Amino acid sequence: MPWQERQVKVLREEFIRAVLAGQQSLSAICRDYGISRKTGYKWLERFREEGQLEEHSREPHQQPTKTRAEVEDLVLKTRNLYPCWGARKIESYLQRTGENPPSYGTIHRIIKQHDLITQEASQKSRPFVRIERETSNELWQTDFKGEFLMGNASWCYPLTILDDHARFSLRIEPKPNQQNVKSSFIDTFREYGLPSALLSDNGPYFAGCRGGYTQFERFLMDQDILPIHGRVYHPQTQGKIERFHRTLKQELLLAGIPYDLVEADDFFSRWRKYYNEVRPHAALNNRTPAQCYQPSTRPFMEQVPKFEYPTGFRLYKVNNMGYLRFNHHQSYLSDTFINTYVQLVPDEWKDIVHVHYRNFEIAQYNLITGERIMRRPR
């Protein structure tokens, strides 16, 4: 091996040992070794994927039975590499990387004997009832991860999109504010296809004020996607993406803060690949999200076709103030639908009229009083 190549190899090995020791932040270690954080992440990612830094033979080889000390060392090294992982994830990861790991109970005892499990972490690991969709793309969840200050003193607002069934991270995009998310969704739809429904919170971009609709909600309905909003003051409605955000904070943002949006995008891209393809997920029987996710068969519609409403019921045009005139009433619908035709369908049994936009019922009104009694697409 040439002298220069050997020196780089030694430098990489020393760098990895320093990271595994856990006594300094990754940024500090990179400064000590005179390398950029990007190079540091590259070396660390290579070690995580291969388990070693040097080139190795592709020929199959047998692994002799490990001693108790070697088993313990293997478990502790994996735990140091992924400090947020419990025994289940460590066991699954070692199996997938070709090791012959001890049982879950043995791994748990090893990390517990070394005081690597806090009481708080133990309580958080207690099982609870999960509710999820049966297949990929039945429901996506979206939200903004809490903003944080970057190294250049500007704010970062990470937009996240998650598949409800597979927990697959479809997008983590650093943004300078919480506006203009439509382009991010268009890119995601082009890559993965369309979901049947999208669950979000009641933020101003996702949910309309005055009981109306946002342009983003209309954009979703134009793509035949049902917009759903979590209950106000009930964040558990979006429990999966809230848990995803906690994992993102624990495993990435606590390790270092990016300098700007460009570096943040690199941060998130690398972590998203790790989350989807490497990290076992307890709710998926310790499979990875990438093993469970299937892209949608419904492609994004670049040009939305004209919608043909069923015959037999009149179409009404929303006026330039967002109001509907029907049955001698003028009732507010939404500014989003100004100058748009909607279909009104009287109820067969009640004094109610149902308002339809494309494939969705977007409102109900009392025919006698004109009062709106329902505002939510379904």
The 10s digit of each residue's pLDDT in 349-361 is 888 899 999 999 9
pLDDT band at 22 (very low <50, low <70, confident <90, very high): low
pLDDT at residue 67 in the model: 55
Is it the case that residue 128 has pLDDT exceeding 50? no
pLDDT at residue 234 in the model: 45
Which residue's structure tokens are 């068969």?
297
pLDDT at residue 171 in the model: 96
Alpha-carbon Rg of the chain, whole angstroms?
Answer: 26
The predicted model gives 231-243 an average pLDDT of 62
What letter represents residue 173's amino acid? E
Q: What is each CA distance from 97 to 49, 100, 330, 341, in whole angstroms? A: 8, 9, 66, 58
pTM: 0.66
Spatial distance between the Cα atoms of 91 and 88, rounded to a whole number of angstroms: 5
Can you identify the CATH homologous superfamily of domain 140-292?
Ribonuclease H-like superfamily/Ribonuclease H (3.30.420.10)
Which one has a higher pLDDT value, 218 or 99? 218
Range 54-59, long-range pairs (CB < 8 A, 24+ positions): 54/9
Spatial distance between the Cα atoms of 185 and 170, rounded to a whole number of angstroms: 10
User: pLDDT tens digit string along 255-287?
Assistant: 678 899 999 999 899 989 998 998 888 878 888
The Cα diameter of the chain in Å comes to 90
pLDDT at residue 169 in the model: 94
Which one has a higher pLDDT value, 342 or 24? 342
Burial class (CB in 10 A: 0-12, 13-18, 19+), 197: middle
pLDDT band at 52 (very low <50, low <70, confident <90, very high): low
- DSSP H or E segment with residue 229: strand 226-229
Is it the case that residue 237 has pLDDT exceeding 60? no
pLDDT band at 60 (very low <50, low <70, confident <90, very high): very low
pLDDT band at 115 (very low <50, low <70, confident <90, very high): low
pLDDT at residue 132 in the model: 60
> What is the rounded average pLDDT for all residues in the chain?
80
pLDDT at residue 279 in the model: 85
Percent above pLDDT 90 for the chain: 37
Three-state DSSP class for residue 276: helix
User: pLDDT tens digit string along 201-225?
Assistant: 766 666 656 667 889 999 999 999 9
Residue ranges, CATH 3.30.420.10, the chain: 140-292
pLDDT at residue 269 in the model: 92
- DSSP H or E segment with residue 74: helix 68-81
